[in-house]
Amino acid sequence: MPQTSQMLVEYPEIHLHVIAELRGASLDGEKNVRAMIDSLAGQITDPTSVLMAFQEITDSYPRVRSALDLLIAEGGEMREAQFSREYGSIRQMGPSKLEREQPWNAPESVAEFLYYYGLIGRTYKGEGRNAHTIIFIPTDILPWLPQPTTADGEQGLAAAPVPPPLSSRMLRLEDAFLEDAGTLLGFLHTEGLRLQGDGTPDPDDIDQLMMRLKSKDGFVSPFEAPAASANIEETRIALLLHLARRLGWLRRADDERVRLTGNRVYAFLEQPRSEQRFSLWEAWRTSSEWNDLVRIPGLDCSVGNWQNNPLQTREVVLQLLARLQPGAWYSQADVVSAIKETIPDFQRPTGDYDSWYIRVENTDKFLRGFEHWDQVEGVLLRFLLNGPVYWLSAVDLAEPSAGDDLLFSLSAGGARWLGHDSETPNEARRRAIVVEENFSVELPADTPLMDRFRVERFSNWQASYPNYLYQINQRSLNRASAEGVQPDRILAFLNSRARHVPQRVAAGLQKFGERLATDS
C-alpha cells in the first residue's frame, strides 16, 4: 500500500489545500507542490493528528468508524467494488470541477468523507486482466488508527430462529441419499454401467438406475417446480456417481462397463450407518472437482473462460452454517439475507461481479453485477441447502405454516460435522426382513446396506418404495452360484435375518443346491 506522500502526489493543488484545511495543517510558506506534499504528509501522519481526526469524524459520523474498521480488518486495503457497495464511491474530478463543486462540503458517501480527510486513498493494483482499483489506508496512518472494537462476525449470523414446524410440515428424507448409494452398489454389481465412446454413462443404463432410486417415489424433493425437479434428479444422480468415484468404489472393467472395486466397497458397507453418512459428506465437502454452481438447474455457466473455486466456496458456506444454533429452526430467506449482509462475496473474494458470464438458461440474459446477487449467490445458497447439504443429511427441511420459504435446521449429524458438540444419534433397531411363499424378499428402508447388498447378490430387484422388494428365481440363483454364493449360505442368511422362512422357499433352495452338486 502507498504511503501518504505517494497518495498526495496524485492530487491537484486544490485537493492538498482541502485536506490541510480539514485536518488543521498549515501550508504557509511552502514554495512548490513538492514541498507542500512533504509538509502536509508529515503533519497529517503525526499520531496525534490521526487520533484527533479519527475522534472528530467518528463522533459526528458513526458509519465512518465501521468503514475504517472494515479496512483495518482487511489489512488496510480492499477492492473498491467491495468497499463502495457499503460505503459509496468517490467521484473523480479534475481541478476545475473540484473548485466549482467543492464536494468536500457535501460528500455523497462515507468514502468521499474519508477521502477528503486524507485518511483513505484510491489507486490501481495488479496488471492486465488482473488490474483493479483499491481503497486503502496509507501505511503511515494505519498504525495510529484504533483497532476495531468488535469481532468480525464469528459470533453468529444475524438470523433469528423461528418457531419449530409441525411434524406434518417436515420434508421426510429418511436417509434417501445413503439408501440410493446402497442401490447404486447393488446395480453396479449385478448390471454394471455401460460406457459410451466419450466415457460417459449410457443414458439407458442411467434410466434403469434411476428407476431403482428412492427419489423416484418416496423421496420428497424441495424443488417443487416439475422442470426443476426433473433437472435436480439429474444433478442428484451425478453427485451420487461422483462420490462413488471419489470413495474409490468404481473401476472400468474389460467389458467397458463400470464395476465395483471390492475392498473399498466392503469397507464402506461394514461401517455403522452414521459413519457411512459421514463418508459421503466428507467426499462431497472435500471435492475440488464437484462444482455446485454449475450444477444449479436454470443457470448456464458455460460461456467464457472464467473460473470459480467450488471447494473454497463450499468451505466458507459451511463455516457460516456452523454459526447457527444446532436444533433451532431458521427461515432460508433470513439466512440468505444474513449471509448477504455479513459476507456477500463468499464465492467471489475479489468482489468481481462482472467477469463471470452466468446467464439464465435458454436466454441471452447475463447475470452480471452485484445487483444480480440474489439470482446467483442467493440461488446457490438455496441450492446447497435444498440439495447436497439436505441430501447428505446435514440439515432437516420443513414447509412453513405461512409463506412459501422453506425452513431448515442443522441435524444432529450435520451439527457434529460442522464442529458442534453433538451426540451421535442411536442407530435404529434392525427390523426383520420378510420372505414370502412366492420367493419374494421384502426389506425395510433402514435395513443395513450390507444386508441389502447380500440380498442383491442372489435375487433380482423389483421395487424400492415403500420398502425394497426382491425376487429369488433361477436366474438370480445361477448368478449367485457363479460368484460362489451357494444356496446353503443363502438359506442361512435368510434364517438369520427373517422371523420366518417359508418351507417352500427353504425346500426350493435346498433342491437347487442338490442340483448344483449333481451337475458338478
Q: Is 50 exceeded by the pLDDT of residue 133?
A: yes
Least reliable range by pLDDT among 263-277, 397-411, 419-433: 419-433
Q: pLDDT per residue over 301-322, tens digit each?
A: 988 889 999 999 999 999 999 9
Give me the torsion for CA of 293, 299, 303, 306, rounded to 10°: -20
Q: Is 70 exceeded by the pLDDT of residue 353?
A: yes
More confident site: 430 or 346? 346
Pick the CATH number of 174-270 from 1.10.10, 1.10.1740, 1.10.3470, 3.20.20: 1.10.10
- Percent of the chain, pLDDT > 70? 94
- Output DSSP code: residue 118: T
What per-residue confidence (pLDDT) applies to 359? 92
Q: Is 50 exceeded by the pLDDT of residue 153?
A: no
Least reliable range by pLDDT among 91-105, 361-375, 421-435, 471-485: 421-435
DSSP 227-242: HHHHHHHHHHHHHHHH
Edge-to-edge order in the sheet of strand 170-171? 170-171, 395-398, 407-410, 330-331
More confident site: 128 or 370? 370
Please report which confidence band the pLDDT of residue 136 belongs to, taking 50, 70 and 90 as the band edges: very high
What per-residue confidence (pLDDT) applies to 120? 94
Q: pLDDT per residue over 33-85, tens digit each?
A: 999 999 999 999 998 899 999 988 887 787 898 899 989 988 899 999 889 98
In the predicted model, what is the mean pLDDT of the chain? 89
Please report which confidence band the pLDDT of residue 226 belongs to, taking 50, 70 and 90 as the band edges: very low
- Output DSSP code: residue 433: B
What per-residue confidence (pLDDT) applies to 220? 56
Q: Is 70 exceeded by the pLDDT of residue 470?
A: yes
Please report which confidence band the pLDDT of residue 224 belongs to, taking 50, 70 and 90 as the band edges: low
Closest by CA position to 481, among listed 519, 450, 445, 443: 519
* Axis crossing angle, helix 47-60 with helix 62-73, rounded to the nearest 10: 130
Q: Is 60 exceeded by the pLDDT of residue 217?
A: no
DSSP 302-367: -SSS----HHHHHHHHHHHHTTSPTT-BEEHHHHHHHHHHH-TTTT-TT---SS---EETTS--B-
All CATH 1.10.10 domain ranges in the chain, comma separated: 174-270
What per-residue confidence (pLDDT) applies to 520? 65
Q: pLDDT per residue over 234-259, tens digit each?
A: 899 999 999 999 999 999 988 888 99
What per-residue confidence (pLDDT) applies to 31? 76
Q: Is 60 exceeded by the pLDDT of residue 151?
A: no
More confident site: 287 or 61? 287
Name the grid cell of 297: 438447474
